[in-house]
Each structure stands twice: as C-alpha cells, then as structure tokens.
Structure 1
Amino acid sequence: MNTKKWKRSAFGVAALGAAFALTLSGCSSPAANDSGDGGDGGGGDEAYEFVFVPGVAGDEFYISMGCGIQDAVEAAGGTVSEQAPEKFDPTLQKPLVDSVTSSKPDALLVAPTDVKAMEAPIKAAEAAGIKVVLVDTTLEDPSAAVSQVSSDNVGGGEAAFSAIEEAHPDGGKVLVISVDPGISTTDQRAEGFQQAAEANDKFEYLGVQYSHNEPAEAARLVTAALQKDPDIVGIFAANLFAAEGTATGVKQAGAEDITIVGFDAGPAQVKQLEDGVVQALVAQEPRKIGEEGVAQALAALNGEETEEKIQTGFTVITQDNLDGEGGDAAYVSSCG
C-alpha cells in the first residue's frame, strides 16, 4: 500500500479558492452535517476531509490528478489523504476502499480498477454517508457516485488512429496494446481506435492484446506480434505503461517505419517522443479531472446540484508542439 497525507494550509489556485470559499461558507455550521449525508469529518468547525484512491501508485497520470485534487481541496480549506494500490488490481484496491469506508471521511474520489469488482465496496462507501466521485474510470452501475469525471476516451482512441492514418496514408496493419479487459477507460480507447480503423478499408485492425499494466509484458507482446506480422505500420498503446513497453518491444524487434501512438504523457513518454521512438502522445487532463471531482464532491456535501457526467478533453502531443501546448499538457512526477 502506498499512503500519502496532505494537510497544508488553504493556499492554491486563486480562482478555485474564491469559488470554494463561497461553497464552504456554511461548513462551520452544525447544519452542514445534521442530515447525516456526509461522513464524520465535516461537522462542527472541522474542514471537509477527502480521500483519493487512484488506480495505481507511481503513475504520473494519477500523480498529476492528485496534484489537482490537493490544490483544490486546500483552496477549499479542507484536508486530503491518498491511498494507492501498488498494482492496478481490484483485489488490492478493494481493501483500501473498505478501510476508507471505515474511517468515514466526507468525500471519496476513486478510480475503480474494475467495472464490476469495485461496485460493492464503492456502494458500501456511499451507504456509509460518504460522497463518492468516480474519477477517470467508472463502474457498470455508477449509481453510488454523485458524479463521474473522465476524459473523452473514445475520442482519444479515434485521435490515436488519426495520427497513424496521417503517417501511413496507404494503410496497413494496426494493433492495440491495452491493460486488461473490464477497465472502462482503456476499453473505450480501444473501442474508439477500432471504430476509426475499421472505417478506413486501407487498414487491417489486428485487435487488442493485454499487457496487465506491465511494460515488460507489453514489450513481449509487441515483439511477438512483429514476428507474426512484420508489416504492422502502427501500434496504439492505451496507457502509460503499455506505451513504455510498446516502444521497448519495437526497439528490440529492430522494426522500422512503425508509428507508435501512446495514451498519456508521463516524463518517460515525453522523452520517447523527443527521441523519436514514439511519434505522438494523446495527453489527458488529469489535473482538471481532479479539480472537477473536488468541485462535484463539494457541491454534494453542501446539498447543491451535481453533474452526473463530466468529460474533459485531450491534447495530441508531437515533436512539433512540444515546446508549446504539447509541453504544457505533459504530466508531472510530483506536485510543486
């Protein structure tokens, strides 16, 4: 288990601070929690207590999201802690969510690691009076959450194919390397890519293979795929670790003229882009997802209307825009 605790004074983005100051102006009143709708952390003179449970520790996407959550909560005068599983695995995430439920914070921002397996623990959190916001990933039945905040993942998959299509106008074989089936976000990215590829009869879609979030396994899959189909022209890697492994696999196979498009933009991926190993990156807006998640939780805690679904955009990063908007969209390894 990876656990972090953030409890700094209420400094952050000025605009967020102003907005949240208005939202929380009644939080010291006993009425704020008399209804029993929130957890134990928001009553009396205490600030609201948030917990963030990302999909996995050490992923710059979730680190960047955590920075947005941290700043937004601090701007609102609250406190936030993080509990992250060491692997993207519901058997590791479930005990963390169960522990959070037992501690009864006011709000839980969670990225479910499986659309089915995480339903029961998240429903238990909601039943305990905790306001739940699903960030990044979601559930088959998301009714326990007050809001879902995520990227336009289908659109991101389509954009990934467009980058390959532009590089190979004559078409060819294309492949997707993903994580595991049953993860809402990566399933949607593969879906968007497949739809776009099958709409162009110059391309042959070879399907999706699963790396279990292990770069070494992604590298092995890519090496084997290139041995079977050496005429592959493009590979879409559906998350950060898949992109790392895909680039390694292509290099190990000694393949040339393959366009690799990665989803996510951690420092390792940006370095691969700079070196020409990866030709494009589809960057999400993890910081904005975190900020929007906090805003929705605060609205729910204060009895205000929430938005059922919020979708954020993405930026396609190439060497051409890396010094501008592309570089601004890259993820961070730490807050500061």
Structure 2
Amino acid sequence: MTHKVTATLAGLAATALMMTACAGGSGPTSSNTQSGAAASGGSGGLSVAFVPKIQGIPFFEAMNAGGKKASEEFGFTWVYSGPTTADPAAQSEVVRSLIQQNVSTLMVAPNDPDSMSPLITEAQGKGIKVGAADTDAPNSTREVFVEQASAEGIGSALVDQIAKAIGDEGEIAIVSCGQTAVNLNSWIKVINEKIPAEHPKITIVDTVYADEDQAKAVTMSKNLINANPKLKGLIGMCTTSAPGVAQAVQESGKIGTIQTVGVGTPASMLPYLKDKSSHASVLWNVEDFGYLTAWGGWMLAQGKEFADTQDVGHIKGVTYDKATKTLLLGEPMIFTAENAGEFNY
C-alpha cells in the first residue's frame, strides 16, 4: 500500500506565493504542489487541481499521494492546493487563484457547498471543468461527484460498530466536524434514522461540531463525558474528531467504560485501537480515493463520459450513477488493531 511520492514545484511557485500573500500574514494560508507528465508536455498539457477542505491533515495528504500516482500513470499535471484551516473564505481564495491559473479541471471538497456554488459556475464560465470530491455540492453545477462510499454504507457501518462496542444499549454522542459538510451530515442522518429503528436501547444525547480540529474535538468530547455521566459511546465523524474522541476517553481515564468509533485514518487511529480507547475505525482506501478523484478530473478535462462500471487503473469495479453524476469508489473498510498497521496513512 506504500506509495513513493515525489512533488515537483515548478511553474506555479510564483502563484503559490501570491496565494499565501492574499490569505494574510497571520490568517489561513495555502500552498501548491504540482506533478505529472503534463509538466513536460504530456497528454496535451491537461491539469487537474484538487482543493481539499484543509491541507496538512493525514486524510487529504493521502488523497494527494493517490492523485499524484494517477497523474504519473495517466499523464497529466496534478495540482494540490488548499487552506491551512477549514475556513470557507480561505478555501474560496484558493479556488479563485486556480481559476486565474486556468487549470483544465477543478476538483473541490467544499467546506461550505453553498458559498462554493457561485465559484463553480464562474470557473465553468471560463471553460474549466468542475467536480466535487469527498463532500458534495449538490445544489451547484458541478459535473461529477467522486464519493468514497455511500452515505448509507458509512452511516450503517458506524452504527454497527458502536452498537457492537457498547453491547447495543446505552447513551452515545456524536462529535462531528464542519457543520455544513454535506458528507458528514448525510452520515449523521443515516445514524439518526438507524439507531431508533434498529437499536431502540441506544440513545443519542447530543451532536456537537469541532470543525477540522482534533484538539477542539478532545475538549468537546471531555465536555460531553462530564455532562453525561451515563455516556457509553462516542462517534467521531471525521479524521480529526475520530482520534479526538479516543484521546478524550484515554485522557479521562475512561478506557473500557466509554467506547469510541469513528472515521479515522489507520495510522492516526492505530495507537488508540491498540490501547482500546477506540473500538474500530470506518474508512476506505484514501490513496485510492485520491487516485479516483484525479482520474475523474482527467476524464472531465478530455470531455469523456463515464461508464456505468469501469476499472480505473488498479481499482476494479468503480460504478457511475448518471442520475446523480456520482463516481463511487466502493464499500467502506473497517480498521481494527489487527489490520490498521498495514496502511501507511
């Protein structure tokens, strides 16, 4: 699963500096990395830019690694650039800069889909193809959504894991991240529907939002533990809150008393899985997800259509739903203390 990743800073260096300056000296900043055969003229000079919710966290860095691999295999330029805080305004500045650079395709994981929607339309007006990945912008004119796993699949897996961990009975709470994140909210919706319908002895006492900040997730989780003395479980909805809820249980001396599950990267969750402050992590192969995102952007740049089912490089059986314009990576994976160490992100 280990990929050797190289990054070539070339023609976009000056633009990257300009983007940093636009963000302000003490405010959110961003950076560009560029790779792929198109830097040397491959595939007609096509470029695919990916803007994550936040740059620097393991999840999106793993997506970047997968995107670079796809660019090297298929022959296009890969540009990875995002804000250093999960701030919609800072992310919008990155997108505006990439529009000015006239990339071939822009793939975005929007922090706030509604505020991103006008920028998607603006980019398309300049001839740039636009897609969403990781989290959708369903009310926009995006041309494809690259989804890691279905909302039903992820939400159901989280429900199954927390129910198993707490013996299908007791109080639980949810620690999510961005309050406007479409993907996280869709998973929470599934959890809120399935718990009362299939696990009537489990009660959800609260849902809080810690942005994409692990330290904030720790603090909010401790507050939930103190406010709910009968609490038996915590669900961390993203790759910063999943380790955050486990860390809070660990630091509160509640291992064995309060169980946690979440959507966390294998490497970040492994210590918590080993000491049993986390029961399980629900995720997917993140590098493959970045690989698929890059390939999807490359297909858009060429004006090619997606098949109902296709193999994408080494990824087999990727499906496409024409009604929703959604490329689906596949089913979620369950990471435990036994298998999490096999992955390098």
Shorter-chain TM band: 0.7 to 0.9
Instruction: Say which of 140, 144, 149 aligns to 2:146.
Output: 149
In structure 2, C-alpha distance between the alignment counterparts of 1:49 and 1:115, rounded to whole Å: 23
In structure 2, C-alpha distance between the alignment counterparts of 1:292 and 1:45, rounded to whole Å: 18
In structure 1, C-alpha distance between the alignment counterparts of 2:341 and 2:186, rounded to whole Å: 25
Q: Which amino acid aligns with 2:97?
A: S
Instruction: Say which of 90, 110, 113 aligns to 2:111.
Output: 113
Aligned pairs for 1:152-301 within 5 A: 152-199=150-197, 200-255=199-254, 256-301=256-301
Please tell me whether residue 316 in structure 1 is matched to residue 314 in structure 2.
no
TM-score, normalising length: structure 2? 0.79
Q: Runs of at least 4 residues of structure 1 off by over 6 A?
A: 41-45
Indicate the SS of the match to 1:181. coil
TM-score, normalising length: structure 1? 0.81
Gaps of 5+ in 2: 1-28, 307-319
Q: Which amino acid aligns with 1:167?
A: A
Indicate the SS of the match to 1:118. helix
In the TM superposition, what is the alpha-carbon distance from 1:42 to its structure 2 partner? 12
Contact 1:42/1:49 (<8 A) preserved: no
In the TM superposition, what is the alpha-carbon distance from 1:61 to its structure 2 partner? 1.2
- Give the corresponding residue for 1:16: none
Q: Which amino acid aligns with 2:123?
A: A
Aligned pairs for 1:324-335 within 5 A: 326-328=340-342, 330=343, 332=345
In structure 1, C-alpha distance between the alignment counterparts of 2:36 and 2:297, rounded to whole Å: 20
The farther-off stretch of 234-243 and 44-53 is 44-53
Distance 1:294 1:171, change over 3 A: same
In the TM superposition, what is the alpha-carbon distance from 1:216 to its structure 2 partner? 2.1
In the TM superposition, what is the alpha-carbon distance from 1:62 to its structure 2 partner? 0.9
- Give the corresponding residue for 2:96: 98
Residue-pair matches, total: 296
Q: Which amino acid aligns with 2:249?
A: V
The farther-off stretch of 298-307 and 217-226 is 298-307
Please tell me whether residue 2 in structure 1 is matched to residue 37 in structure 2.
no
Q: Which amino acid aligns with 1:233?
A: K
For residues 75-113 of structure 1, give each alpha carbon's deviation from its aligned partner in whole angstroms, at most 9, with x where no partner exists.
Answer: 122112211100111111000001111110111121111
Contact 1:60/1:331 (<8 A) preserved: no
In the TM superposition, what is the alpha-carbon distance from 1:43 to its structure 2 partner? 9.8
In structure 2, C-alpha distance between the alignment counterparts of 1:5 and 1:211, rounded to whole Å: 28
In structure 1, C-alpha distance between the alignment counterparts of 2:111 and 2:91, rounded to whole Å: 7
Gaps of 5+ in 1: 11-40
Identity of aligned residues (%): 23
In structure 2, C-alpha distance between the alignment counterparts of 1:45 and 1:263, rounded to whole Å: 36
Instruction: Say which of 34, 47, 50 aligns to 2:45.
Output: 47
Distance 1:92 1:205, change over 3 A: same
Instruction: Say which of 67, 70, 77 aligns to 1:69.
Output: 67
For residues 232-254 of structure 1, give each alpha carbon's deviation from its aligned partner in whole angstroms, at most 9, with x where no partner exists.
Answer: 11111001111222122223332
Contact 2:42/2:75 (<8 A) preserved: no
In the TM superposition, what is the alpha-carbon distance from 1:273 to its structure 2 partner? 1.2
